[in-house]
Structure 1
């Protein structure tokens, strides 16, 4: 795979991606907000202050993605208007993304789990004061926000009881609507792997009126080829049944991007992009992270998956994502997403 011409190498390895779209996954969406037009996919990057800053330092002359991802927890209004360093050792700041990147969207992940009765308390209204603060902030941004309520709701690590989750999710959406928030799309994000206590994915569904997007995580999934497994298939079928667009809300080659070897492109990226084309995925969010430097429980074997580790892999990434298919920072981005600025 070695060549003295990185541009030619990028073209060669990008050509391995299969770009045909399965007609089964081309369908009309209902009750959905901020969906890219036909043939377009929204490109999002994340997910911490440190890694986004690093990303911009390394790729100063590359096109800005169409959106950025950030995280916060329903229990406290932290990491929204000011920088907050959390227990994993990384920082969050939604407002930094607003201030630094005009003409982009925010993909905001709201942490809410079943442990410590967090979801139960949320459903009871214990965190309404936090939600109200988020509502006021969201309205002030005057840009599309994709809010993942209780992301990876079916992941065993989150221990979310389906009934408690649905009750909390609906309560949050009802409160945000009562506060007149019009620029938030509500994202229902599945782990897309073996679910908590083997509940069917439908058990966590809050209803068509409460969901704008269906989302999945893609980590180890993409190493096995373009078939991401039965649990992922179930989520995609469910999205089609309910006429919702699908987002890859979190993704990264967790076995790492080696500095010298390019095998990760064939082993993960080709499958990732081929899947996104074939399944007509309407938004993809890539996490640019060195997992070995985080303190996230349960991922001790994950490695350094930052794009700038390998020049040839990053060249191929930009060769693909620079295509017109991918929506990036643009003065026309909001118009393409159907969002009217106030």
Structure 2
């Protein structure tokens, strides 16, 4: 989700989603089958996939652990966890965000050229790279303009599409920004995972398939032209469990419509905020929410589908965004993800409900999952993610829904269990 980009469920999107309800139809047969079977869940696959074009792939079939997702969060984790326990493994990588925008406006390459805070924590690439020397870097690159009427000017300019607000000058300007970003990442002298237009099929980002694919391909071509061989391209699905507008996730060809091609995609990726085993916590307010807040298909079936896609295309998988949405590790409470109505919950229950399921899913699919990024932040303390008690997503005091507090160091039991998991030899940690 994140962060230096358009909010996940802004009020404008709430209105659009309401309008889209009338066009939502029943799930396709494939989605129904996924719901019934829970394909892939709980079944461990032992043989590793023979990956093709797998840049920055961890050796010996290991899985890289990354932590994120803003500089403040990373500093807190270093000070409150890593520096207090010399035996706590350091992350093998960190995640940060930036965006391409009109260079005449403040915000282009935010966090790289200047410090930035969109209400989701300060991002300062130089600071975080200094604090985690040698760590890999996963970059969420926003090339959308969800707050500007979804005209997709940055995406279309990068793709080289003239017209409808995009001039030749715009194309030159935006493409110059791409080169500036790539040179910066190349000179970082570390492994970089560039998540181009991350969550491409999240309706809140409003990417259009053809311009998105063309922009993605252009960026990969520039990586090659600059010989920036430390940069791997990452294609990240939101794994969103609803049909909305052009994002018909139950359509058989949904992923194929957005896929730029095997020759330009190094990694397939997904977000894993929601699940099935903890539905009783995250979605207990379904009856109170509008219809479009309720999953149309099983969240896990969407995640499984992306893993299957990656296996078929012989691509390694990165879980690029993950956090126990609606669970507060500091307050020991749980609430609905779209309506802030909390109740007490034990730390053991939080662990067994979300964390154990997440780590089990990674283990069960270690043939293809080779990197995982955990978002270790107090969402509720950040303006973009704050949700007032009893408020519902889309309201002025609850723009994004209830995200709570996913900091593992906020609770001793959860930190202890987290340490046990990431200390297992399967994970690649930092030094």
How does the TM-score come out when normalised to structure 2?
0.68
Match of 1:58 in 2: 80
Q: How many residues align?
A: 310
Shift of 1:19: 9.8
More off after superposition, 54-63 vs 68-77: 54-63
Does the 8 Å contact 1:19/1:278 carry over to 2? yes
Match of 2:417 in 1: 316
Match of 1:21 in 2: 44
Does the 8 Å contact 1:42/1:284 carry over to 2? yes
Work out the CA distance in 2 between the residues paired with 1:89 and 1:67. Answer: 20
Change (3 A) 1:248 1:294: same
Match of 1:249 in 2: 320
Aligned partner of 1:120 among 141, 152, 156: 156
Does the 8 Å contact 2:317/2:371 carry over to 1? yes
Q: Which structure has the larger Rg over C-alpha atoms?
A: 2
Task: Choose between structure 1 and 2 for higher RCO, CA contacts under 8 A separated by at least 6 residues.
Answer: 1
More off after superposition, 123-132 vs 147-156: 123-132
Shift of 1:101: 1.8
Match of 2:212 in 1: 165
Shift of 1:163: 0.7
Aligned partner of 1:265 among 312, 336, 351: 351
Q: Provide Cα deviations, 1:160-215, integer angstroms capped at 9, x if missing partner.
A: 11111101111111122212211100000011123652160111100001111001
In the TM superposition, 1:83-94 aligns within 5 A as: 84-94=115-125
Give the 3-state SS of the residue equivalent to 2:235 in structure 1: strand
Does the 8 Å contact 1:67/1:105 carry over to 2? yes
Work out the CA distance in 2 between the residues paired with 1:51 and 1:195. Answer: 33
Work out the CA distance in 2 between the residues paired with 1:177 and 1:195. Answer: 36
In the TM superposition, 1:1-342 aligns within 5 A as: 21-23=44-46, 26-59=48-81, 60=83, 61=85, 62-75=88-101, 76-80=108-112, 82=114, 84-113=115-144, 115-117=150-152, 118-124=154-160, 125=171, 126-193=173-240, 194=242, 197=246, 198=248, 200-221=254-275, 223-224=277-278, 228-259=299-330, 260=332, 261-262=346-347, 263-280=349-366, 281-296=369-384, 298-330=399-431
Shift of 1:81: 5.1
Work out the CA distance in 2 between the residues paired with 1:190 and 1:183. Answer: 23
Change (3 A) 1:222 1:49: farther
Give the 3-state SS of the residue equivalent to 1:45 in structure 2: strand
More off after superposition, 211-220 vs 259-268: 259-268
More off after superposition, 252-261 vs 50-59: 252-261
More off after superposition, 92-101 vs 158-167: 92-101
Work out the CA distance in 2 between the residues paired with 1:289 and 1:201. Answer: 30
Match of 1:3 in 2: none
Work out the CA distance in 2 between the residues paired with 1:86 and 1:134. Answer: 19
Structure 1 stretches of 5 or more lacking a match? Answer: 1-17, 331-342
Does the 8 Å contact 1:222/1:271 carry over to 2? no
Q: Provide Cα deviations, 1:122-161, integer angstroms capped at 9, x if missing partner.
A: 2123411111111221121111100000000011111111
More off after superposition, 288-297 vs 105-114: 288-297
Shift of 1:286: 0.4
Structure 2 stretches of 5 or more lacking a match? Answer: 1-40, 102-107, 161-170, 280-297, 333-345, 386-398
Work out the CA distance in 2 between the residues paired with 1:195 and 1:58. Answer: 41
Work out the CA distance in 1 between the residues paired with 2:303 and 2:90. Answer: 29
Change (3 A) 1:78 1:168: same
Alpha-carbon RMSD: 2.1
Work out the CA distance in 1 between the residues paired with 2:307 and 2:89. Answer: 30
